[in-house]
A = this chain, B = another copy of it.
Amino acid sequence: WTPWTLYTRSMYGRYTQELGVYAKEEAARLREEAAFRRLVTERSRSLDLLEYDKSRCAKCRICTVHCQKFLISRVGEDWIFLILLGLVMALVSWVMDFCIALCLQAQKWMYGGLDSNVVLQYLAWVTYPVVLISFSAGFTHIVAPQAAGSGIPEMKTILRGVVLKEYLTLKTFVAKVIGLTCALGSGMPLGKEGPFVHIASLCAALLSKFMSLFGGIYENESRNIEMLAAACAVGVGCCFAAPIGGVLFSIEVTSTFFAVRNYWRGFFAATFSAFIFRVLAVWNRDEETITALFKTRFRLDFPFDLQELPAFAVIGIASGFGGALFVYLNRLIVQFIRKQKAINKFLMKKRLLYPALVTLLISTLTFPPGFGQFMAGQLTQKESLVTLLDNRTWAKQGIAEEFEYIGHAAAWKHPQANVFITLVIFIVMKFWMSALATTIPVPCGAFMPVFVIGAAFGRLVGESMAAWFPEGIHSDGVVYSIVPGGYAVVGAAALSGAVTHTVSTAVIVFELTGQISHILPIMIAVILANAVAQSLQPSIYDSIIRIKKLPYLPELGWGHHEKYNIRVEDIMVRDVRYITLNCTYRDLHDVLLTERLKTLALVESSESMILLGSIERAQLQALLSQQLGRPRRLEYLRQRAQNERKQVSIVSTPSSEEGNHKANHEVRFQISTEESTFSPSRSVSPKPLKPALKRHSVVERGTEIPSSQDSGIALKSLFCAHPEAAAVEIAEWEELQLDEQVNFNNCKIDPAPFQLVERTSLHKTHTIFSLLGLDHAYVTSIGRLIGVVSLRELRKAIEGSVTVKGVKVRPPLASFRDSGTSSSDAEVTELHKLWNRHTNLTLPQDHQPSDSDEKSQ
C-alpha cells in the first residue's frame, strides 16, 4: 500500500473483472440492507400512524399520507426523483460556481494588491494555485481516490453494466465537489463538465438511496441505470445551462445504444436543472433575466456569407487534427511519466509533488508581467472566452491600434506584439498546458480548456479573414463585414467536438451563446473535425478508458464493409470449456483450473452438447468447496476417529512446523475468495509473489477464519497431531470425494445465456453485445454448443479489421496494451496450488500472466 499505488490507481488504476464480481456481491448485500431498512421504516411508520390515530390530528395525518400517495401515484416517483435531482444539481453547480468565482477573485486581489513588488507578486500568483491544487489532490487522495479525473469514462463503463466499486458513494461525492472547487478555483486550465457528469451520477445514486428510505422502487437495477443516464444529462445541462446539448452530449459520450425513454427523463431533469441554475443567478441579481451563459450579439440578418464557408471548413479540419493531437499528447504525457522509472519512484514518495510541479510550471508561464503578457495570462478561462466571443473585430485593417480596448479584451493587446502573435502564443501554450494539467490527479475535465483553445483558434482565423477582407466578401454593394466572433464560436465547437468525438458540442455552443445563426458553419466544422479526429485517435474519454484498462468495446469503424462479411464462426473460440450435468467434482476441479472465464457453460452431456445454461465460476467454486470443505472434512475425520476408536488429547498447541502443515491443508480445502478482493499491493507488483510469502499470507487468513467456526477448532487438532498420516488419508478421502457426481441442486444456473448462431455477422454481434452489455455469448447450432465469443474476440476482430483496411494508422494505444503490467497473480487461486500438489510439484505449472485484455473484460 505504497502512496504511489493509490496515486496510480486514481489516475491510471485498473479495474479487473474480479472487482466487478466483488462489487456485485457487495451491491447485493447493500440491496438486502436497504430492503431491511425499508421494512423497518415502514413498520415504524405504520406504528406512527396507529399512534396518531388516537390523537386529535389523526384525520389530518391520514389525509396527508393519502395526499402523498395520490401525488406519487399520479405524478410518479420518477418525476419527483428527477425534479429533486435537478434541483440539487442546480444548487451544487451554482454554489460551486460562486465559490470558484470567489477563489479567482481572491487571487486577482492578491496579485493586484502586491503590484509594487514583482517578486512578491510572482510568489502570490504562483503560490495560490499550487496550494489549492495540492490541497485538492491531497484531499481527493485521502477521502476518495476514485474522485480524481473526469468521471465520464467511468460513467460510460457503469452504464455499460459494469459495477465499479466505491464509484457512487457519499465519500466520493464530497471529495469530488470540494476537490473540483479547489482545482477550478486555482485558475489552472481545467474544466468542470466531466466531473459534473460524475457528480450528477453520484447525486442520483445518493438520492436513490435516500428516497429508498421512504419506500418505493429505488433499488431496481434497470431503474438505476436509467436514472444514471438521466443524471449524466443533468450534469452537463446544469454545468452549461444547456439542457438540450447536455442530453445529447451525455448520450454521445456515455452510450452506444440509447433508450428514447431515458432521453425523455434526461430532457426533463436537465431542463429543470438548467432553469433553476439560471434562476439562481437572477435571484442573486447577477442577471436581469434568464439568458445564455456566454451571450453573443452577432447580427441576425446576415450572419455570414456563403463564401466564408471554406474558412469554416478549414477551421473544422484543422480542429480535427488539433483534437487528435490533444488526445495523443495527453496520452503521451501519461505514458512518459509511467515509463520513466526514476521519476516514477521519486513521485511515488512525494505524491503531491507532481500536481505542485505542474501547477508551478503553468502558473509561472502565465504570470502576467512575465511571459503571460504575450498570452493574456491574467484572464481567467471565463474571461478569455467572453473576450474571444466578442462581437467586435480586434484587428481592423490589420492594424491593432484602431481597436478600442474595453474591459478584459485589453489583455489581448500587447505594445510590442500584435493580436495575431498573442493569439498564436495563447493557442500553443494553452494547448500543451491543458493536456498536461488534465493529467493531475484532481477532479477535472478537459472540455472547457479545449473549448477555449478552439475559440482562440477560431478567433485567429476570423481576425485573419477580417484583415484579408476588410470590406467583407459580399459583392452586391452592401458591406457586411466579417464577424471574427462567429469564427470563434465555430472553432470552439469544432475543437471540443474533435477531442470528445461528439457533434452535440454544436448544440452546446448554441445554448451557451444564445445564438443559433451560425448553425450551418458550426455543423459543417464539427462534422469535419469529427471525421478527421475519429480517423486518427480515440476520443479523450475512450483514451482514458484504455489507459485505465476499464472494460470496453470498440466502436465499429465507418464504412468498413468487411464487418458485414465476418461471421461469428470466424472469430469464435471453438474449444469451449464446459461442464456436463453428470460430471464429477474432479471434472469441475479441472475445468476451474484451466478455464479463466467468469461463467462456464453447462451442457447436457459431452456427446449431445446441448447447452442447458451457464454457471458462474463463483458458484462452481462454492460447490467444490462444499464437497471438499472443512465441515465435510471434519465430519469425515470424526467418523474415522470413531471408527478407529482412537484417543486423542483435546488440547494440543500446534508447533510452528505443524502450523505450516495446517496452513497447507487449509490451502488445500479452501476455495479462496482472494480473486474478488482488490488488493492494490498485488496489482502493482509485476511478478507473482514468492510461494513462501503467499503461504504466509494464507496462514494469516487461516488463523482468522477459525474464529467463526469454533466448533471445528477442537477436531482440527485431531489430524494436526499426526500430520503425515492424516495428510495421506485426507488425500485418499479427497480422491474419493472428487470422483463423486456433482449435485447441481443448490447451484444458481442462468438457464438462458445469450446465444448466437455461426452465421451471425460481426456487425450484428457487435450490436447485440453493446445493446445488452454482454461480455460473452455462446454459439450454438440446433441446441448444441459449438463455440463461445467473448468481448475479447470481438474486440480483436474489430480492431484487426480496422487496422488492416481502415484509416487508423495503428491500433489505438497498442503500445499501452503491451506495456500493461499483469495483475494476474491476484488470480492464482488456492485451487491452483492444490493442483500443483496433486502433480507432486514435479511439474511446476507455468502460470503465464494472462493477456491483460482478458482481465479488463
A258: chain B residues within 8 A (beta carbon): 257-260
Task: Select A255's contact among B75, B260, B514, B750, beta carbons within 8 Å.
Answer: B260
Q: Which of B300, B304, B602, B757 contacts A297 (CB 8 A)?
A: B300
Specify the chain B residue showing the minimal Cβ separation from A560: B76
Pair A76/B256 contact, Cβ less than 8 Å: no
Residues of B within 8 A of A76 (CB): 558-560
Residues of B within 8 A of A72 (CB): 559
Query: Chain B interface: which of A10-18, A274-282, A663-671, A673-681?
Result: A274-282
**Chain B residues whose CB sits within 8 angstroms of the CB of A264 once the complex forms:** 503, 530
In the assembled complex, 21 residue pairs joining A and B whose CB atoms fall closer than 8 Å, in A order, are A76-B558, A76-B560, A220-B763, A243-B523, A244-B507, A244-B519, A256-B261, A257-B258, A257-B771, A258-B258, A259-B767, A261-B556, A267-B523, A291-B302, A514-B517, A610-B783, A750-B757, A751-B783, A752-B755, A752-B756, A768-B772
A435 close to B (CB within 8 Å): no
State whether B291 touches A306 (Cβ < 8 A): no
Which of these, B271, B302, B506, B767, contacts A523 with CB under 8 Å?
B271
Interface residue ranges of A284-317 to B (CB < 8 Å): 288-292, 295, 297, 300-306
How distant is A351 from chain B, measured CB to nearest CB, in Å?
38
Closest CB-CB distance, A325 to chain B, in whole Å? 20
Does A811 interact with chain B (Cβ within 8 Å)? no
Interface residues of A in 501-528 (CB under 8 A from B): 503, 506-507, 510-511, 514-517, 519-520, 523-524, 527
Is A251's beta carbon under 8 Å from chain B?
A: yes
A805 at the interface (CB under 8 A from B): yes
B271, B474, B755, B784: the one within 8 Å of A755 (CB)? B755
A807 interface hit (Cβ, 8 Å): yes
CB distance from A83 to the nearest CB of B (A): 11
Q: Report the minimum CB–CB distance from A810 to chain B (whole Å).
A: 17
Give bound CA distance, A520 to B274, whole Å. Answer: 8
Chain A 533-561 interface residues, beta-carbon cutoff 8 Å to B: 555-556, 558-561
Contacts of A274 in B (CB 8 A): 520
Instruction: Decide if B282 touches A782 in the complex (CB within 8 Å).
Output: no
Say if the beta carbon of A328 comes within 8 Å of chain B. no
Q: Is the CB of B78 within 8 A of A271?
A: no
- Judged by a CB distance under 8 angstroms, whether A74 is at the interface is yes
Question: Is A267 touching B527 in the complex (CB atoms < 8 A)?
Answer: yes
Is residue A97 within 8 Å, beta carbon to beta carbon, of the partner chain? no
Would B275 and A303 count as touching, CB distance under 8 A?
Answer: no
A760 CB to nearest chain B CB (Å): 8
A292 to B220, CA, bound (A): 45
Total copies of the chain: 2
A208 to chain B minimum Cβ distance, whole angstroms, is 13
Task: Knowing A217-B564, A503-B264, say if A612 contacts B610 (CB, 8 Å).
Answer: yes
Within 8 A of B (CB), among A723-778: 749-752, 755-757, 761, 763-764, 767-768, 771-772
A751 with B757: CB separation less than 8 A: yes
Bound-complex Cα distance A757 to B750 (A): 8
A517 partner residues in chain B, CB cutoff 8 A: 291-292, 514
A418 to chain B, nearest CB (A): 30
Cβ of A222 < 8 Å from any Cβ of B?
yes
Neighbouring B residues of A263 by C-beta, 8 Å: 251-252
Contacts A267-B527, A271-B520, A771-B772 aside, 4 further interface pairs with beta carbons under 8 A come to A244-B506, A244-B519, A256-B259, A752-B755
Tell me, rounded to whole Å, the shortest Cβ–Cβ distance linking A145 to chain B.
30
Cα–Cα, bound, A763→B259 (Å): 13
A307 closest partner in B (C-beta): B289
**What are the 5 A-B residue pairs with the smallest beta carbon separation, nearest first?**
A76-B559, A612-B783, A752-B755, A217-B561, A78-B559
Is residue A827 within 8 Å, beta carbon to beta carbon, of the partner chain?
A: no
Given A258-B257, A515-B516, A520-B278, A289:B271 Cβ within 8 A: no
The verdict on A564 contacting B223 (CB below 8 Å), with A255-B260, A261-B556, A768-B772 known, is yes
**B residues near A558, Cβ cutoff 8 Å:** 76, 78-79
Q: Which residues of the partner chain B approach A564 to less than 8 Å between Cβ atoms?
A: 217, 220, 222-223
The distance in angstroms between the C-alpha atoms of A490 and B256, with both chains bound, is 32
Residues of B within 8 A of A216 (CB): 561
Cβ-defined contact, B275 with A520, below 8 A: yes
Contact A222 B613 (CB under 8 A): no
Residue of B with least CB distance to A305: B289
Please tell me if A821 contacts chain B, counting CB pairs below 8 Å. Answer: no
- Which residues from chain B contact A412 at a C-beta distance below 8 Å? none
A243 CB to nearest B CB, Å: 6
Q: How far is the CA of A301 from the CA of B279 in the complex (A)?
A: 16
Q: At the interface, yes or no: A658 with Cβ under 8 Å from chain B?
A: no
Choice from B519, B750, B764 contacting A511 with Cβ under 8 Å: B519
Q: Which residues of B contact A268 (CB under 8 A)?
A: 527
Cβ-based interface call for A604 (8 A):
yes
CB of A781 within 8 A of chain B? yes
List the B residue with the shortest CB-CB distance to A77: B559
CA–CA, A713 to B555, complex, Å?
A: 59
Find chain B residues with CB under 8 A from A244 CB. Answer: 506-507, 519, 523
Complex Cα–Cα for A777 and B774 (A): 18
- Judged by a CB distance under 8 angstroms, whether A642 is at the interface is no
